[in-house]
Amino acid sequence: MLPIPSERAQWLATNVLPLEPVMRRWLSRMARSDLEPDDLLQEAYAKLVALETVEHIHNPKAYLFQILRCLILEHVRRSQVVAIDAIVELEELQLSEDIASPERVLSGRQELERLLCAIERLPVGCRQVFMLRKLENLTQSEIAGRLKLAVSSVEKHLARALRLLFADFPAEEAAVARSRRRSGPKEEGRGES
């Protein structure tokens, strides 16, 4: 049983996950040393999970931006010393060009392509376990049986795969963009079917 209701997890995967790079770029440009983009994103996810419903959210990008803006304001208000420049920045906390332009956001499909490339680069054992779990839809114990591994090893491989595939998202994204420029046609073929 996964902790978040599957409908909400699906919504987050479709609507929020692809926005991460652009939001992160914007957050890091805010350049406040005490505000980590990843901290803010985690808090934003927490808020999105806590919502009773997401039906009213027609523009997830604007909504996420609004949440992040509120979070930043909260942090600024809580901090003992409010730097003047922070206040100035807050005035400029509008939907910036980055966020407004749709082409800067990875589409779900592009993100799947990124993921496929990233999976290719996983260590062999890790990749095998991850693919059996996610592409073949085997359970962890079925994978353990198939590969003659302890269930705890399967678990470790999966957690590691997730870390390697997702935790370092911005770096991955840049690497994929580079590799795509180099070997575009090969990867295109993979996505179709």
Partner 1 sequence: MASRKSAQEIMTTAYDWLVRCDRGLSTQEQAEFDCWMTADTRHLGAIARAQAQWTHASRLQIVGAQPLPKPAPPPAKRWIRSAWTAAAIFIAAVSVTLFTVQRYVGTHFDTTVGEVRRIPLSDGSSVTLDTNSKMALAYTSQARIVRLLVGEAFFEVAHDPSKPFIVEAGAVRVRAVGTAFIVRCELESKVQVTVTRGVVDVWRQGKIVEPAVRVAANGRVVATPAAVEPIVGVSEAEVARSIAWQDGIIDLQGRTLSQAAAEFNRYNEQTLIIEDPVLAKQPVVGRFHTNDPLGFAHAAAEVLDARVHVRNEQIVLER
Residues that bind partner 1 (CB under 8 A): 1-4, 6-10, 12-14, 16-17, 36, 38-39, 41-50, 108-109, 111-112, 115-116, 119-120, 127-128, 130-141, 146-147, 151, 154-155, 158-159, 162-163, 165-167, 190-191, 193
> Which residue's CB is nearer to partner 1, number 104 or number 146?
146
> Which residue's CB is nearer to partner 1, number 87 or number 190?
190
Cα angle: 15, vertex 59, 16; to 5 degrees: 20
Would you state the torsion angle of the CA atoms of residues 83, 89, 90, 91, taken in this order, to the nearest 10 degrees? Answer: 120
Query: CA-to-CA distance for 130 and 136, rounded, in angstroms?
Result: 9
> Which residue's CB is nearer to partner 1, number 86 or number 130?
130
**DSSP secondary structure of 76-144:** HHHSSS--HHHHHHHHT-S--HHHH-GGGSPPHHHHHHHHHHHHHTS-HHHHHHHHHHHTS---HHHHH
* Least Cβ distance, residue 103 to partner 1 (angstroms): 16
* Least Cβ distance, residue 37 to partner 1 (angstroms): 8
> Which residue's CB is nearer to partner 1, number 89 or number 142?
142
* Least Cβ distance, residue 182 to partner 1 (angstroms): 19
Q: What count of other Cβ atoms lies within 10 Å of the Cβ of residue 125?
A: 16
> Which residue's CB is nearer to partner 1, number 86 or number 172?
172
Location of structure tokens 């590691």: 160
Enumerate long-range contacts of 49-52, CB under 8 Å, 24 or more apart: 49/4, 49/8, 49/12
* Least Cβ distance, residue 97 to partner 1 (angstroms): 25
* Least Cβ distance, residue 167 to partner 1 (angstroms): 5
